[in-house]
Amino acid sequence: MSNTPVQPEPQQLPAEPSESVPYMRKIRSFVLREGRLTKGQQNALDNHWPAFGLNYQDSPLNLEQVFGSSAPVVLEIGFGMGKSLVEMASNAPEKNFIGIEVHKPGVGACLGDAAAAGLRNLRLFEHDAVEVLNDSIADNSLSTVQLFFPDPWHKKRHHKRRIVQSEFVQLLRQKLRIGGVFHMATDWQNYAEHMLEVMQAAPGFTNLSATSDYVERPAERPLTKFEQRGQRLGHGVWDLMFERIS
Ligand SMILES: C[S@@+](CC[C@H](N)C(=O)[O-])C[C@H]1O[C@@H](n2cnc3c(N)ncnc32)[C@H](O)[C@@H]1O
């Protein structure tokens, strides 16, 4: 990965996904925002990428080799600035964590925090999560996939850009081991309903909600600053957890 603080220009957007993965052409779940790297983020990228960074590759990584252990692997899609991911990894040294994010300043921020916390059980990709999952992650290898506050794509005409789509959740099913869990959270009711609809129709999963819809936020998902503010303003947050059963 390049360490130069180059701003992402439109022509630097990742190449279109390959022909072999037709559904990926339809999901364009992110826009690469221009964002300056702070000095701290750039330093973190320069100093800590070798220890924490994973590069996209077109064949599955050996996760036992990557982590030097066969502990359960939790994979987070779109970790943002990575605060909650670092907190979860710090709180659960008995698990290994992989974070995927396309936003370079977020990757830099997360690297800095991960190094400061002395984490050994976290690795990061700076790449499109759909491509990473499809090509770099082995089938049946994940114990949890987490997707917290994905871009809601509010406007109806943009709903096709939402990452939670039936083909995408079948990709997750393939990568989760049987008994593994897909955990989503959103503060956008319309997206929560969309998630529920997609998951209810998805073969191979069972809803872990006692009421067949949403679950309470599990203690291991840290409450973000953003959520605390939302709670004060009376905004809702919906957590959904589905287990792979076949
Ligand atoms: C609304 S933010 C939420 C960030 C974080 N999860 C949180 O709760 O603060 C969504 C994040 O997902 C990232 N993202 C969206 N699609 C992605 C993809 N296909 N691969 C990797 N990251 C993606 C975006 O860059 C953005 O940082």
pLDDT tens digits, residue range 108-167?
999 999 999 999 999 999 999 999 999 999 999 999 999 999 999 989 999 999 999 999
**Tokens linked to 138:** 């082995």
Average pLDDT of every residue of the chain: 89
Identify whether 78 is part of a domain: yes
If you average pLDDT over residues 34-58, what whole number do you get? 96
Query: Does the pLDDT at position 20 exceed 80?
Result: no
Identify whether 173 is part of a domain: yes
Query: Does the pLDDT at position 53 exceed 70?
Result: yes
**pLDDT at residue 12, as a whole number:** 36
Identify whether 144 is part of a domain: yes
Identify whether 16 is part of a domain: no
Query: Does the pLDDT at position 3 exceed 90?
Result: no
Identify whether 206 is part of a domain: yes
Domain count, the chain: 1
Of the two residues 212 and 32, the one the predictor is more confident about is: 212
Residue 230 pLDDT grade (very low, low, confident, very high; cuts 50, 70, 90): confident
**pLDDT at residue 26, as a whole number:** 55
**Tokens linked to 23:** 């559904």
Residue 244 CA to residue 182 CA, distance in Å, equals 8
Q: What is the pLDDT of residues 54-80, one digit of tens each?
A: 999 999 999 999 999 999 999 999 999
What residues have CB less than 8 Å from 160, skipping those under 6 apart? Answer: 26, 27
For residue 68, give its domain range: 64-215+224-244
Identify whether 22 is part of a domain: no
- Separation of 106 CA from ligand 1 center, angstroms? 9
**pLDDT at residue 11, as a whole number:** 33
Percentage, residues of the chain above pLDDT 90: 80
**pLDDT at residue 5, as a whole number:** 37
- Separation of 148 CA from ligand 1 center, angstroms? 8
**Residue 151 annotated to the active site:** yes
CA-nearest residue, atom 5 of ligand 1: 80
Give the number of C-alpha atoms closer than 13 A to the C-alpha of residue 116, restricted to the C-beta side: 14
CA-nearest residue, atom 1 of ligand 1: 151
**pLDDT at residue 16, as a whole number:** 38
Ligand 1 atom at minimum distance from 33 CA: 25
Query: Does the pLDDT at position 191 exceed 70?
Result: yes
Identify whether 187 is part of a domain: yes
Among the options 46, 113, 128, 151, which is catalytic?
A: 151
Ligand 1 atom at minimum distance from 129 CA: 20
CA-nearest residue, atom 4 of ligand 1: 80
Q: What is the CATH number of the domain that holds 233?
A: 3.40.50.150
What residues have CB less than 8 Å from 236, skipping those under 6 apart? Answer: 187, 189, 230
Task: List all residues whose CB is within 6 A of at least one atom of ligand 1.
Answer: 29-30, 77-80, 100-103, 106, 128-130, 148-151, 163, 224
Identify whether 79 is part of a domain: yes
Query: Does the pLDDT at position 181 exceed 90?
Result: yes
Query: Does the pLDDT at position 87 exceed 60?
Result: yes
